[in-house]
Copies of this chain bind each other. A is one copy, B any other.
Amino acid sequence: MWQLHHFTLCPFSRKIRFQCAEKQVAVELVREHPWERRDAFLLLNPAGQTPVLANATLTLSDSAAISEYLEETVEKTPLLGSGAAERAEVRRLTAWFDQKFYAEVVVPLLAERMFKRVVTRGSPDAATIRAAQRAAEQHFDYLDYLLEHRRWLSGPAFGMADVAAAAQISVADYLGGIDWDGHEEARTWYSALKSRPTFRPLLAERMEGLAPPQHYDKLDF
């Protein structure tokens, strides 16, 4: 069986967990805090980042490489779309959330509200958090715009762009970075994701010492 090295608030681990659940790939979870830089973990992935997906013969890292590997090897529930142009759009939006949303919204929230709380016991910087919340607003305007024209993020079918976006947004939401007011399209879309049995287990998890806002795992939020 695959082992997935992850931690609860790692958005890239959430993406792979959500993808595996959709594709009915069983994984055993192994908790890893990459900031501890354990030698045994650096041997698995010299980049020092979660997630790592490994079995007896293969060790995969980089969440995009893992995700493409799963699409290539597991036929059930294809999530990249059919046709090269459609897949390019799925990959563009996946990268948007994995890189742009992550850097502008999730990284500062993780640094200020997770890392300082749980690891270094420092005081969060209010200005950094506000900047992340403002960046989230702009991303949600773009989400609304896309969802005015499309049922799911990349088109008519649910796919990896939705999985990646849900993974990043769920971490930002856990850390109090998202104001849902005024984003009805995004809210309707995320509500549909929240009710998926493949996503619900992620929302039920808690990081010790760090509680999410009340609305976080509610279907009506």
- Complex Cα–Cα for A60 and B85 (A): 8
Residues of chain B with a CB closer than 8 A to A91's CB: 62, 64-65, 68
A64 touching B64 by the CB < 8 A rule? yes
Q: How far is the CA of A147 from the CA of B96 in the complex (A)?
A: 32
Copies in the complex: 2
Chain B CB within 10 Å, residue with most, of A66, A72, A84, A142? A84
Q: Which residue of B lies closest to A142 (CB)?
A: B46
Interface SS majority for chain A: helix
**With known contacts A68-B88, A84-B69, A95–B62 Cβ distance under 8 A:** yes
- Are A84 and B72 in contact, CB atoms less than 8 angstroms apart? yes
Chain B CB within 8 A of A73 CB:
yes
Chain B contacts for A66, CB-based, 8 A: 88
CB distance from A192 to the nearest CB of B (A): 24
Interface residues on A, range: 20 to 34
Establish whether residues B95 and A69, one from each chain, have CB atoms under 8 Å apart when the complex forms.
Answer: no
A211: Cβ under 8 A from any B Cβ: no
Give the shortest distance, in Å, between A64 (CB) and chain B (any CB): 6
CB distance from A206 to the nearest CB of B (A): 29
Interface residues of A in 52-105 (CB under 8 A from B): 58, 60-62, 64-66, 68-69, 72-73, 84-85, 87-89, 91-92, 95-96, 99-100
Let me know if A96 and B58 touch, CB within 8 A: no
Known A-B contacts: A60-B92, A62-B91, A65-B88. Give 9 more (CB < 8 A): A47-B100, A62-B92, A64-B91, A68-B87, A69-B84, A69-B87, A72-B87, A73-B84, A99-B99
Could you name 14 residue pairs across A and B whose Cβ atoms are closer than 8 Å?
A47-B96, A58-B85, A60-B92, A61-B92, A62-B91, A62-B96, A65-B95, A66-B88, A68-B68, A68-B88, A69-B84, A69-B87, A73-B84, A99-B99
